[in-house]
Amino acid sequence: MVELDKKEMIIRYSAIGFVLGLVLIIFEYTLLLYSRDATFSFRLILNLHDDLPILYMIDFLPVPSVIFGAWIASWRFKQMDTLNERIRQETDKNKEIKLFTHALIAGDLSHNVELTLTEQSLSDTLNKLKDSLTRNREMERQRRLDEKQRNWISEGLAEFGDILRKHSQEMETMTYEVISALVRYLEANQGAVFLAREDQGEKYLEMVSCFAYERKKFPDKRVAWGDGLIGAAALERKGYYTERIQDGYLSITSGLGKANPRYLLIEPLVWNNQVFGIIEMASFKRMDDYKIQFVQRVAENIATTINTMESNLRTEQLLKETRAQADQLVIQEEQVRQNMEALKLAQEKGAQQAEIFISFTNTVNHTLMRAEYDVDGMLLYANTRFLKKLGYAGNKEVEGTHISMFINEKDRDWFNSLWKRLSQGGRHFEGYMKHETKLGQDLWTMATYTCVRRDDGSVEKILFLAIDSTEQKKQSLDFEGQIEAIDRLNAKAVFSPDGKLMLSNTLFGSSLKYTELELAQMNVFDFFGTGEQERFNEIWENVIRGEAFQGQLKMQSKFEEELWFRATFLSVNDMYGEVEKVIFLANEISKEKKMELASRTQHEQLIHKEEELRLATLDLKKKLEDTNLQRKQEKTRFEKEIKQYIHVLEEIPFSVLTINNQGFVLFYNRHAEKRWKMKQKDVIGSRVGKLLSTENTSDIIAGFMDPARSKTTGLFHGQELHIPGRKAESVSIMIISTDLEDEMLYSLIIL
């Protein structure tokens, strides 16, 4: 086919060159004849050759014209062949780009585009675009999954934080609300809360709340410390998760059957390395890692709440008892002081008012413990109340005994120095004094030791008066022990109403990095930064008015570090109802607060990354728009080349007829117009049956005409062609198919 086309074109252009050469010769001779005003004759032409020998060369002009025409034909054929190849390549390239782009739009990222080496940069760009979309899709999927899990954890922590705050006054209600909400939130089957207990030095875990199968269960379980999975988790302070639960391990079942859950999670309630209890969760479904981490964070919050509840309860009870004891001691001290003053007045007027003294002595004997010693410490006299309190039946058991008999061995060194001062006429003693009873028990008294002098001023004897304060002193020592325990667990400080620091424990100073000497000069407002001053001023004014404060405060250490405390401010009133001092108790929660702030920062970073992803998406959209623009430009160039191709088809010396798969004529060149004697405007858009007859037509051409039949493509010789109204002729034809995706085109070329 290619050789035939080339030969035909060479013949045609050679003929055109030959004709042009002849026309040029005729034109030359016409000019010569016209210039000589002569009439054409062969003799005249011969004479002109004699006169102008160059005319012999002009006579051979058609020969180079034929050669030049053949060269032009070869050059034109080569150009057409190159153009056809470029059109085919561009068509294939655009088709592949179109398929790749449609696949990207449809979300199919499994295709790759492979173009020629000259288009390798475009191929690499499109493949990189596909790879970038694949990575972005995977990153977006992972981001959404992570964001969903973080939101799930944040919402859960907020929900359980509300539950803990709402029920922070009653332990059983709080634990039940937490475990029931936790079972529902995790879509588990059952759960229980065990709290740490201690009985006569033996530690154990007691189930206080249980929830299973959407119903409240009544707890009745007790586990020894270190016994089983629950006891081991409490002992080791470590959580436990297993996918293998032995049958019969869980005693709670549903009303629908006895199948036990297969997954078990045990998490200890630990705060400051102290175990407050255990959470046990069971489920038929596997728990993901982020859900286990969520349970760990909830367990830590529960432990913190339990610690705060217990601390608040202890603090409140101790404060109540301390206030009551303090009020009672103030009254007793006032009574003792008044009695002592009355006793001193009686001693000073003893010589003048003997009868009054005797009466007063009798009164004292009924209300106070009374004894008299000589300067060597030997007992001279003891009243009935003294003997009764110390457990003796009468004076015979104690008269003539040394005072050290009533003093514990541990206190004798201190008491001997006191007695030495008194025996030498020194200052009297007033204060608490511990004696030892006959049975070896401690007897605490509010006592006075005073010298009874002779007229010359020497010491005659030493008088002892006292009130029994054993019970009050024991309670006071007990309170002091409890307060000391609070001091070990909480930072404690006492401030005056104007804010001056009066007293603080070691934990307070170590938490804020101050020495005792530095703290002695400080005010409560010195522990708060500039940004917190306004809020704390309002809190302090409310506390001074008698309103207790409990909440979180941000304080500032010696080195300007930000420290967070869960703090309580309580005012203490004097006997007149006025604020005497303010007590501060607190637990440091800086690590917990830093974790909260870090979570917020991470959330802000996530928002920033989402914005970057949005900008990347916009950039990708811009690249797609640029790609579409480039594709449109290539399409325009392709259409331009198609027009050039059609122009070539118009000029080739063969009849070309193109139809679609419905049998309508789409192209009809000039050579075909000459064959059918019909114009393009009368043919294009008509049925192909207008040009071809089915009568005695070959099967190849009949298949070409019939839209319902498949078309046979290729080169065919000796085909019968029937044109309506004319005789049949035997021709060579070529049928070519073109796939345009939405329709098929078939071209018939008659050679």
- pTM for this one? 0.33
Nearest-CA neighbor of 276 among 171, 200, 180, 184? Answer: 171
Nearest-CA neighbor of 13 among 75, 73, 74? Answer: 73
Rounded CA gap, 265 and 240, in Å? 6
Instruction: Give per-residue pLDDT as tens, 257-295.
Output: 455 677 888 889 888 888 889 888 888 888 888 888 888
The 3-state DSSP class for residue 305 equals helix
In angstroms and rounded to an integer, the radius of gyration of the C-alpha atoms of the chain is 58
Rounded CA gap, 599 and 150, in Å? 10
Rounded CA gap, 645 and 648, in Å? 5
DSSP state of 217: E
Nearest-CA neighbor of 533 among 524, 546, 545? Answer: 524
The strand pairing partners of 545, in sequence order, are none
Rounded CA gap, 225 and 701, in Å? 99
From the number of C-beta atoms within 10 Å of its C-beta (0-12, 13-18, 19+), residue 262 rates as: middle
Task: Give backbone dihedrals phi and psi of 702, rounded to 5 degrees, phi first.
Answer: -65, -40
CB neighbours of 224 closer than 8 A, spacing ≥ 6?
204, 205, 231
Contact 671, 652 (CB under 8 A): yes
Task: Give backbone dihedrals phi and psi of 741, rounded to 5 degrees, phi first.
Answer: 70, -60
State the pLDDT at residue 495: 92
Which DSSP string corresponds to 552-564? EEEEE-TT--EEE
Rounded CA gap, 320 and 322, in Å? 5
Instruction: Give per-residue pLDDT as tens, 424-474.
Output: 888 888 888 888 888 888 888 888 888 888 878 788 888 888 888 777 776
DSSP state of 682: H
CB neighbours of 111 closer than 8 A, spacing ≥ 6?
99, 100, 103, 130
Q: Could you say which residues of the chain have pLDDT below 50? A: 1-4, 117-118, 252-257
In 349-423, which ranges are continuous DSSP H helix? 354-367, 384-390, 412-423
From the number of C-beta atoms within 10 Å of its C-beta (0-12, 13-18, 19+), residue 417 rates as: exposed
Side-chain-side CA neighbours of 413 within 13 Å: the count stands at 1
The 3-state DSSP class for residue 669 equals coil
Rounded CA gap, 17 and 62, in Å? 7
State the pLDDT at residue 496: 92
Type of residue numbered 749: I
| Six token digits for residue 456 | 């010359």
Length reported for the chain: 751
Burial annotation 368-405 (CB, 10 A radius, 16+ → b, else e): bbbbbbebebebeebbebbbebbebeebeebeeeebee
Which DSSP string corresponds to 694-733? -TT--HHHHHHH-TTSPPPPEEEEEEEE--TTS--EEEEE
Q: Which residue has the tokens 């001693």?
A: 347
CB neighbours of 48 closer than 8 A, spacing ≥ 6?
29, 32, 55
State the pLDDT at residue 253: 47
| Six token digits for residue 34 | 């016209």
Side-chain-side CA neighbours of 644 within 13 Å: the count stands at 14
Rounded CA gap, 580 and 410, in Å? 36
Rounded CA gap, 570 and 3, in Å? 111
Contact 70, 17 (CB under 8 A): yes
- Count CB-CB contacts under 10 A for residue 135: 11
Contact 418, 434 (CB under 8 A): no
240, 505, 546, 550 from 570: Cα distances, Å: 41, 16, 8, 9
Dihedral sign computed on CA atoms, order 315, 320, 326, 328 = negative
- Count CB-CB contacts under 10 A for residue 215: 12
**What is the SS3 assignment for 636-652?**
HHHHHHHHHHHHHHHHC
The strand pairing partners of 744, in sequence order, are 739
Nearest-CA neighbor of 267 among 318, 229, 305? Answer: 229
- Count CB-CB contacts under 10 A for residue 432: 13
Rounded CA gap, 15 and 70, in Å? 9
How far, rounded to the nearest angstrom, does the alpha carbon of residue 67 sit from its chain's CA centroid? 84
